[in-house]
Amino acid sequence: MAKKVLTVGELRKALEGVPDNLEVQLSSDTGVDQGEGEIIIESAERVTYGSTDYFDIYANDTGDWDGEEDGE
């Protein structure tokens, strides 16, 4: 299956009629949503500097990761 990057226009259209208090959840066919603990979407914002311009959705895993790789 070919991967396609979501555009802001597609996101805006998908949000039509969605209540403001509805939680955003992450899902994936590749397992990116299967990390340690629960994945939380924390923020969404436009990022612009220089020639860079994109919309960023920031997520974190709530697992008890100690900052070290396994076996260290």
Whether the Cβ atoms of residue 56 and residue 45 lie closer than 8 Å to each other: yes
| Amino acid in the structure at residue 40 | I
> Low-confidence residues of the chain, pLDDT below 70?
1, 35-36, 63-72
Q: Cα–Cα distance between 46 and 65 in angstroms, integer?
A: 28
Q: Which two tokens stand for residue 69?
A: 């790789």
Please indicate, yes or no, whether the overall pTM of this predicted structure exceeds 0.75.
no
* CA 21-29-9 angle, 5° bins: 50
pLDDT of residue 22: 94
For the chain, helix (H) and strand (E) counts, in that order, are 1, 2
pLDDT of residue 56: 94
